């Protein structure tokens, strides 16, 4: 089992999923699909998403940032102890990256919310 850190959480989670699903006799093909979804969901690691499931999970991960903006401010100001301007920049950059990583369909769905949230941070 790999070291558990933020940088490799997706690898650890894919290993956990494999162990869990094998224990319940999960179909190998479906197990591999679940692992690909987990491995390719990260916005900070650009990986080609080939299946609709991978796209869905990656989009959901990015979209969740727009539905949890207060938690991004908590991360910026409490956990990372950033100043006011640096915290705003951190959140704005995170949201910009998240939006850019969305599929074209995801961008269509979240365009209004993205523009509204970013307009508050300018």
Domain containing residue 99: 59-121
**Which residues 6+ apart lie within 8 Å of 117 measured at CB?**
66, 69, 95
Has residue 26 been placed in a domain? no
Q: Output the pLDDT for position 76.
A: 97
Has residue 39 been placed in a domain? no
Q: Are 34 and 43 in contact (CB under 8 A)?
A: no
81 token code pair: 């102890």
Has residue 89 been placed in a domain? yes
Instruction: Select from 94, 92, 98, 31 the least CA-distant residue to 59.
Output: 98
Q: Output the pLDDT for position 90.
A: 97
Helices (H), the chain: 9-23, 28-39, 52-66, 69-74, 84-101, 104-121
Count of domains observed in the chain = 1
Has residue 35 been placed in a domain? no
Q: Output the pLDDT for position 1.
A: 45
Has residue 88 been placed in a domain? yes
What is d(CA 88, CA 7) in angstroms, rounded to the nearest whole number?
A: 23
23 token code pair: 């224990």
Has residue 25 been placed in a domain? no
11 token code pair: 């690898």
109 token code pair: 């769905």
60 token code pair: 């959901």
The tens place of each residue's pLDDT in the chain, 122 residues long, gives 445 555 666 776 778 778 888 888 888 888 888 888 787 766 555 566 678 888 888 888 889 999 999 999 999 999 999 999 999 999 999 999 999 989 999 999 999 999 999 999 98
Question: CB pairs under 8 A, 24+ apart, for 50-53?
Answer: none
């Amino acid at each position: 089992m790999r070291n558990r850190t933020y940088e490799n959480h997706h690898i650890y989670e894919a290993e956990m999923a494999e162990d869990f699903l094998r224990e319940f006799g999960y179909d190998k093909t479906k197990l591999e699909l679940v692992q690909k979804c987990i491995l390719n969901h990260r916005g900070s690691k650009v990986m080609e998403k080939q299946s609709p499931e991978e796209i869905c999970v990656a989009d959901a991960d990015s979209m969740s940032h727009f539905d949890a903006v207060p938690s991004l401010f908590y991360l910026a100001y409490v956990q990372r102890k950033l100043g006011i301007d640096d915290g705003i920049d951190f959140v704005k950059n995170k949201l910009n990256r998240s939006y850019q990583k969305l599929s074209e369909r995801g961008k269509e769905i979240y365009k209004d919310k993205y523009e509204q949230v970013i307009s508050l941070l300018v």
